[in-house]
Structure formats: structure tokens, C-alpha cells
Chains A and B, each alone.
Chain A
Amino acid sequence: MADITETTDPKTADPTWPKAEERRLIGQRISRLDGPAKSTGTAKYTYDLNRPGLLYARVLRCPHAHAKVTKLDMAPAESMPGVRAVRVIQGAGTEIQWALDEVAVVAAVSDDIAQDAVRAIAVEYEVLPHFVSEEQLDKAPATKPGEEKTEGDPVAAMTAAAVRVKGTYGMPVISHNCLEAHGQVCEWTGKDEMTAWCSTQALSALPPQFAERLEIPAANVRVITQYMGGGFGSKFSVDRWGIECAELARQAGAPVKLMLDRAAELTVAGDRPSAFAEIEVGATDDGTLTAWTSKSWGSGGLGSAGDPPMPYVFQIPNRRHRHTAVPTHTASSRAWRAPNHPQGCYLTMSALDDLAAKLAMDPYDLFVKNLSMTGMADVYKQELEIAEQLMGWKARWHQRGAGAPGPVQHGLGLSIHTWGGRGHRSNCEITLQPDGQVDLKMATQDLGTGTRTAVGIVCADTLGLPLEAVKVNIGDSRYPASGGSGGSTTIGGVSAATRRAALNARALLFDKAAPKLETTADQLEAVDATIRVKGSPDRKLTWKQAMALFGHTPVTATGANPGPGELTGSGVGGVQMAEVAVDVETGIVKMVKMVAVQDCGLIIDLKTAESQVYGALIMGISGALSEEKVIDPVTGRMLNVDFESYKMAGIGDVGELVVHMMTGPGFDERGPIGLGEPPMVSPGAAIANAVANAVGVRVPFLPLTPRHVLEALAKGAA
């Protein structure tokens, strides 16, 4: 009989996903495993941890967008009763480059005392000039122009175009605004050993980051993230406040909790770059796109990331584009769901919709006519047809501004989008216990996307066990390493690694069971908690009988991604349609309905997959209608640093939501592909196009607030 080492070495040299008729759990509608913990409030997040002797940290932040620290005296804070540790982060002489950047930090026995101590710190600044308003490119003191990208001959094609439209469009910086603020609890367990509970989306990446800055071995840092309250791309790094928290804990000899307050969370812990563009697009008079030129600009803070792909999705044959980054005195942006895509999509789809309006053409027909430029014409075509049915588009669409008379105007808008999302690197370890329990270990994290449930489903489905038989252990850096959850790469990575590990575990069982069942391993299947001979369901071993063949020793198998076989894919398409009602007297936009038709390869859990799409629609509606970081040009400070004025959509603001997932042949073969990004791309574009359709003029700037709507109406009437 083969030993463990030999059999773990892939028996399954060419692993595949099970065929549709063999799937028992994969693709079903399954409630997430941690739902009860979340709905009972027993799920413990980083913010919830009360370690014995816990200290609370608070941060002194610079109120100026650009300033030099001229004096910093920690003594008044340090001497306060209850204060256990203080640290200077950016002391006298340091130049601060954005408002609310960290200056100093204190740890005290209560959160209130820590706040008192921060207020007691004596600090003075020399205020320096700042720049925070990137809306007008020609007013920027410094810019970083990107490369100009040209295909074909856009100038000649534009001149030759029968129809041309020009427009200027834009969307502001918005914040991730995670409900669980960024932060961590750090506790030293030895001279050079630390455990950190982190609200992170990149668990396995954090120990090395801590270790390097704290000058201790990475293997001595343990990071735990059982539950985390939202990341959306903003929680990949250990962050300076993470290191400070660890140093405070080391200094105080006690565990320290440092969570950002809401003002800091909104101001410095994550932004999506703004994007503005001047666009000209040309077409033949039947609506075939022929020419595109655009120059875009925007700010991702001081680092000024961001370069939206334009034209988006439609690769118009003659095109030219250049993006210019505008550095501002604001914190550097972070990856925000589908980096660059919502901007590229909104800017492009707005221009194409304006072109359709000029042609008096239904944008649905304009999109269909030009699908060959997308590289995924078949997928989009199918999705457009389904969305059309779900929205009743053809029956209800009207020419721009040609709705029924009255102050409340209805309109329809549409957009399409794409994303890559190939599975990231991951490892998975599966141990079959003699009692029939299966332990799965993986140092991944569940952001609320359903990762925990998905790996359980893949493991149980592969082993022919009920989901309850699998104990899913994630959220601890002591488990086999896995990738960060970003770019919609998690589901592919964790599912593929789990599938390979489970197939390898199953192969071990089949090898042991085959002689007992007087057959060969390739004739066996794992179904209903039995190992049985294909076609002869009576020739079987119960799971326990099979495990007994190993004596009383647990059996461990591993799997990784990438690995043998094609288990991951990339490149999905989605279509969204929006219906809005706009009061042209008040400028108030209300969502009536939104339809999302989305492809994501093989669906592991239909219920949580749909939730991801619903969630993206809602977050997208929120961004389209009301979110905007308002930065005061005079002080350089963000003004709306609370939920009253940083406006997010509530439950009554989102209208009817319809989600349709593309499944089956043509989609499943590519393996699972993530959903964090794709459905997040289109909402702004679809909703803005619906508003233009309703009110008869383009409202060129997001968010679609009454002010922007009324300004556009006034300009249109002038």
C-alpha cells in the first residue's frame, strides 16, 4: 500500500471540477456557515476583543492638509493617570502632507482616558500651502501626465465620422468607509513573539510586514482574523497604525487595541480616486463606433494612483487616450472595488449614451451593434437579452427626455463591464480524522463574501460528505498561507486549492479502500459519506469503515493553487440596467429598479454569490446618488467626516433589485471567478444614463445630487 507521501503527491494529476450532474453542494443555494454567529452577535471581530489588561490607543492627528510640526510635547499626556504608553509618530520638524495624518499616539486604561490624553498633548504647527481641488486640471500646481495611448488614426477617423459628440464628465473621490474601522489588537506573548488580531483582507501577508518593522522573526508573529467588518480594498497593509499599536503594546507590556475613529476612517483609511474626462466619440450614422479621443485626470491623493481604462470594454478601432494624475494633499488612495473600472466605465458609457441620444438610437441597440469590439460579444449578447427581459427595456424605453409629462420623470439606463479575477495563490490542508470529521486549514480570511462557506462546500462536495462534517479553520496565519482578498481573486484561489487538497485526500482513501472492495481506485466514488464502487452502490464502505483502514491515525493531504489541471479562469462580463424617477423641480433622483446580469464562471454557493451582486448594486447606487468626499479648499480638511454628511444609501433608497447569475455550459467550465469587483463597476454608469434618459440632459458629474441635477437642467435650458 502506498504511503502518505506518495499518495499526497497528486494521484489526481489532472484535477477538474465535477460535472454538473455530479455536483451535490457546489452551485446550490447554501446559507453561510457563520450566519448564526453574525446574526446572534457572537461573532467576535477585532474591535470586540477584550483581552485581559487591555489598553486603548488613540491617535493625535494633524488638522492641517500641509504643515510642519514645530512643537510636540507629550509630557502632559504621559503624566496623566491611566496613561500607560505614549509614542511620537511624526515629531517636531516633520512635514505633514495630508489632514488627519498621524502625529502621536497614546495608550491608556480606557478609551475615554486615551482621548483625554490626546487632547492634552501640546502640539504646534507651521501651516504650509496646500492643494486639494483637482476638478480643474489647468488649476493644478503639479501634474503627472501618463503616456498617450493611440490605436489606428483617431484624428482622421473623427474627421470622417458622420456623427460626433463631445462631453466632459466626472466623479469625485469617495471613501471605503468600512463599518469596522481599520485597526488591530496587539499582544506580546514573549520577548520577540506577538499575536495580532487584525481587521485585514490579507492575513497571510501581515506577519512579514509586522516582523520587518518590529525587527523580530516573521515566524514569531501570529495574525488572527476570524471576522472582519468590511475592507473593500482598503485593508491590505499592516499600516503605520498597526506598527504603532504593536510598539505601544511592547512598551506598555500589555495588549493594546487601536481602532480608527470614524473621522480618520473616512479621511485617511481609504479612497477611490476621482476621475474627470473630456471625451469625443465618433460613429457612422448607423451607430457603428469609429473614433474615440479622451483625456482624463483625477486624484488618488499624494501618491495619485488611478488610470482608468478608456474607452472601456469597447475597443473602438481608432482611439487615443491619456490620463494625467493630479497629486493633492490628501491621503493616498487605496484599491477600491474594481480599481479604475468604475471610473473608466462611467466616463465611457456616459459618452456612448450621449452618442446614442444624438443618433436618436436606443443605447441597447448601439451596444448590441458594437459588441464585436468587446472581445466577449457572446456573453454580453446573452446577458443583454436577459437584462432586457428582466427590465422590460424594449417595451418601456423612450427617447431621451421624452417621457410622460409631469414633474417626476422616469428613465432607463444601461452599462456593461468586465473584470479578470483569476484565482490567487493559496494552500489548503485537509486532515481526515478517524471519527469522520474533516479539518480544513487555510490562512485565508472571510470579508463577508462567503469564503469560509465556499471552501467548506468544495471540500464536502469533493469528499461526498455533508457540509457539517467539514470543520473549516481559516483566519489564522498559522494555517497554510493563502492570498489576500483583492481583485476578485479569492474564490478562484481558495476553491482550486481546496479542490486539489480534497481530491488528494480522497485519493488516499480510494487507495486504501480499493483492495477492500476488490477493485481499483479509479473505479471508486465518494458519495453520501460512503466510498463505493461506481455502478455498484452496494459495494461500499462507510466513511468510518474507510477511515478505520488507516488505524487510528489522521490522514493529511494538501493542495495548492496554482497546481495541476485547469481549475481557475479569468475574464467575466456583466450587464446592468437602471430605472430612476427624477423630480425635475427638486432634482431628487430615486431608484426605481436595478437589474444585474452577471457571469462569474462556476458558482460555488449561489446564495452568497447573489448576495455579492446585490451588495455591489447597493454600494454602487450609494456612490452614484450621494457619496462624495467634500474637501474644504480653504482648510484642506474633509468636511463630511460622519454618517450624517458622508451620505450612504439606506434600505429605503435602493429601489427594487433583480439579480440574475449566468450559469451552466459556457460559464461553468472556467471554474470559479470572483464577484467582489465586476458587479461594482456599472452602477454609476447605468444610473447616470437613466437620469439623462429621464430628464433629457446629461448630468455630467456624480454624485447625482439635486444640485448636480438642477445645474444640468438649468444649463440644458439655457
Chain B
Amino acid sequence: MAADNRRDDSVDPDTAQGLAPGGLSRRAFLRGGAAAGLGAGLLSSLPAVAAKSAPVEPAKTEAGVTLLGPGPVPMSLQINGKAHAVKLEPRVTLLDALRDHLDLTGAKKVCDRGTCGACTIILDGRTVYACSVLAIESQGSDIQTIEGLGTLEKLHPLQAAFVENDAHQCGFCTPGFVMASKALLDANPAPTLPEVHHALSGNFCRCGTYAGIRGAVLGVAAAYAAAAAEGDEPPGNAEAEDPEPRPKKKKKKKRNPDG
């Protein structure tokens, strides 16, 4: 039925913008891959994807692979050090799982296709766009969201620096920038300005807070460096304990940063 409705005159904006050459949105393709069990061979799952909204038989095995969905299936997500049991359709993205099912709404939904960075989280130590990962494939991973970083009472040094540098206006992009900045400083505690630009190039702000963000990230980096020189614990705002152990200084292989 969905396949029948994919004529041009019934295209909705979601599919209208995301149609891949085969008539599938990237998102549908992504979901279909997971629905068929990742690695089961994406191409062979395509017909099922096209009919994704029409329920097919649940859980069956095919070539030794268990098929899940399309109805809700139990999952366990390890978020900010805590296990969350949820029952979700396999097509549900990690972003929707966080926002709509766990009320962890710090990661924002803006483009919903992996380009704006507003949903940036840290998954197994690397930044990812939560809109472009399925919840079901995030099982077993260590998921860090903005909610695990600091609290209103005890801001993480980066969050305190964002406040001090007024690195937010409307604030909708801010959690994504904070998470991307955290991942940068974890990997590279003393970034140059071009390195900051490179690391945050996957995040957009519409109000225009880049000047404040530069100041915040470089300020925290400088504070880390000063603390390292003193042999002290890393500074934050006076009250805050750093909820994270200070990242070890390690040489990071970085791609050539932009100028």
C-alpha cells in the first residue's frame, strides 16, 4: 500500500526531500536495514522496506538471522550509565526513543536526517547524530546524552563556559554543540581554533552563536591546560565538581582541520 502511494502526486514532504534513486527515503532504507536484521543483506530487504508500514509477519528467521518487527520489540538502552528497558518498533531512531519514549529531550530534532547536529550525542566515545542511528542498533553501546553531563546545580565546566560566553541565544542547537565540544575536548584537550572549527563543523546554529561557542571551548581548553600545568584538578565553575574524570592528554589523529 505504501508502495502504491509513492507516486509523485502523493509524496509527503518527508519522502519528497529524501527520495533515493530507488524511490526509498534514506530513513526508510536505514529502518529497513535494521528491520531485516543488520547485516542480513540490505538489498534483499528492499521489498520489505517499501511496504514498511504494512505489518508483515513478526519474528521469523531467514538464513539463520532473526527478523524483528515491524511491531514493537523489547530493547535495552544504556544511557548515561543507566539501563532503560523499552519496547519500540525496530524502525524507531535513537533520537525518537530518547525524546518521545524516555523524555530525554536535550537532543533536539531539527533536520532529522543527519546534517544539522542538534541531536548530537556521544555513543561509545564518538559523536553521532541520534536521528541517524536506530535505537535497536544502539543496544549494548554506551550512550551519553546532555542529561548525563551536568545539572542546573552542578554545571559541567563546558556548560558553565557556554553560559559565561553567552554561547546560546534561542538555545535549540546548544545541547548538540555542548556534546560535540565535549567529545572534542575528551579527544583533544588543547585544540587550536581550526580544530575547534573542524570538530564543530557538523553543527549549525541559526541565531549566530559561533563567537560565544569559540570562546567557551577555547576557554575550557585553556583552563584544562592551566590546571595541567599546575598539576591541579581541572577547573570548572567554582562550585562544580567535574562529573567526568579529566580526559587524558592523548595525541589524536585528526583529519586536516579547515582553515
For A176, give the chain B residue with the smallest CB separation: B206
- The reply on B2 being an interface residue by CB < 8 A is yes
Residues of chain B lying within 8 A (CB to CB) of residue A448: 168-171, 207
- The reply on A166 being an interface residue by CB < 8 A is no
- The reply on A137 being an interface residue by CB < 8 A is no
Contact residue among A58, A120, A230, A619 (Cβ-Cβ distance under 8 Å from B53): A120
Residues of chain A lying within 8 A (CB to CB) of residue B91: 112
Please determine whether A643 and B12 come into contact, CB atoms closer than 8 angstroms: no
Please determine whether B108 and A229 come into contact, CB atoms closer than 8 angstroms: yes
Contact residue among A38, A58, A59, A637 (Cβ-Cβ distance under 8 Å from B168): A38
Decide: A125 near B100, CB < 8 A? Known: A179-B206, A262-B17, A642-B115: no
Please determine whether A47 and B108 come into contact, CB atoms closer than 8 angstroms: yes
Residues of chain A lying within 8 A (CB to CB) of residue B49: none
Please determine whether A32 and B166 come into contact, CB atoms closer than 8 angstroms: yes
Main secondary structure of the interface of B (DSSP, over half): loop
Decide: A180 near B170, CB < 8 A? Known: A63-B8, A123-B10: yes
Binds A, one of B40-48, B59-67, B151-159, B244-252: B151-159
CB-contacts of B5-27 with A (<8 A) = 5-6, 8-17
Please determine whether B174 and A652 come into contact, CB atoms closer than 8 angstroms: no
- The reply on A152 being an interface residue by CB < 8 A is no
- The reply on B29 being an interface residue by CB < 8 A is no
Please determine whether A611 and B169 come into contact, CB atoms closer than 8 angstroms: yes
For B171, give the chain A residue with the smallest CB separation: A38
Residues of chain A lying within 8 A (CB to CB) of residue B128: none
Residues of chain B lying within 8 A (CB to CB) of residue A264: 13
Please determine whether A35 and B163 come into contact, CB atoms closer than 8 angstroms: yes
Report the bound CA distance from A501 to B194 in whole Å: 48
Distance (whole angstroms) from the CB of A469 to the closest CB of chain B: 18
Distance (whole angstroms) from the CB of A354 to the closest CB of chain B: 29
Report the bound CA distance from A125 to B9 in whole Å: 7
Distance (whole angstroms) from the CB of B130 to the closest CB of chain A: 12
Report the bound CA distance from A230 to B168 in whole Å: 11
Residues of chain A lying within 8 A (CB to CB) of residue B172: 45, 179-180, 229-230
Please determine whether B17 and A642 come into contact, CB atoms closer than 8 angstroms: yes
- The reply on A39 being an interface residue by CB < 8 A is yes
Please determine whether B96 and A615 come into contact, CB atoms closer than 8 angstroms: no
Please determine whether B111 and A643 come into contact, CB atoms closer than 8 angstroms: yes
Residues of chain B lying within 8 A (CB to CB) of residue A47: 105, 108-109
Please determine whether A119 and B112 come into contact, CB atoms closer than 8 angstroms: no
Residues of chain B lying within 8 A (CB to CB) of residue A32: 163, 166, 168
Contact residue among B8, B89, B158, B203 (Cβ-Cβ distance under 8 Å from A651): B203
Distance (whole angstroms) from the CB of B145 to the closest CB of chain A: 8
For B110, give the chain A residue with the smallest CB separation: A179
Please determine whether A40 and B149 come into contact, CB atoms closer than 8 angstroms: yes
Please determine whether B9 and A648 come into contact, CB atoms closer than 8 angstroms: no
Contact residue among A36, A447, A616 (Cβ-Cβ distance under 8 Å from B163): A36
Please determine whether A43 and B152 come into contact, CB atoms closer than 8 angstroms: no
Contact residue among A31, A38, A232, A615 (Cβ-Cβ distance under 8 Å from B164): A31
For B1, give the chain A residue with the smallest CB separation: A120
Please determine whether A76 and B1 come into contact, CB atoms closer than 8 angstroms: yes
For B106, give the chain A residue with the smallest CB separation: A41
Please determine whether B17 and A229 come into contact, CB atoms closer than 8 angstroms: no
Report the bound CA distance from A118 to B14 in whole Å: 10
Residues of chain A lying within 8 A (CB to CB) of residue B108: 45, 47-48, 179-180, 229
Distance (whole angstroms) from the CB of B121 to the closest CB of chain A: 11
Distance (whole angstroms) from the CB of B156 to the closest CB of chain A: 8
Distance (whole angstroms) from the CB of A390 to the closest CB of chain B: 15
Please determine whether B212 and A262 come into contact, CB atoms closer than 8 angstroms: no
Please determine whether A35 and B162 come into contact, CB atoms closer than 8 angstroms: yes
- The reply on A617 being an interface residue by CB < 8 A is yes
Report the bound CA distance from A120 to B9 in whole Å: 12
- The reply on B211 being an interface residue by CB < 8 A is yes
Contact residue among B170, B178, B205 (Cβ-Cβ distance under 8 Å from A447): B170
Residues of chain A lying within 8 A (CB to CB) of residue B15: 119
Residues of chain A lying within 8 A (CB to CB) of residue B212: 611, 614
Residues of chain A lying within 8 A (CB to CB) of residue B149: 40
Report the bound CA distance from A113 to B107 in whole Å: 22
Most A C-beta atoms less than 10 A away, residue of B52, B149, B206:
B206
Q: Mark B63-99, 1 if CB is under 8 A from A, else 0.
A: 0000000000000000000000000010110001001
Given A39-B162, A116-B52, A230-B170, 6 more A-B residue pairs with CB atoms under 8 Å apart are A119-B5, A120-B5, A619-B207, A644-B115, A651-B200, A652-B259
- In order of increasing CB-CB distance, the 7 nearest A-B pairs are A41-B106, A618-B208, A448-B170, A38-B171, A615-B208, A229-B172, A652-B197
6 A–B contacts, CB within 8 A, in A order:
A39-B175, A40-B147, A40-B149, A40-B151, A122-B5, A642-B113
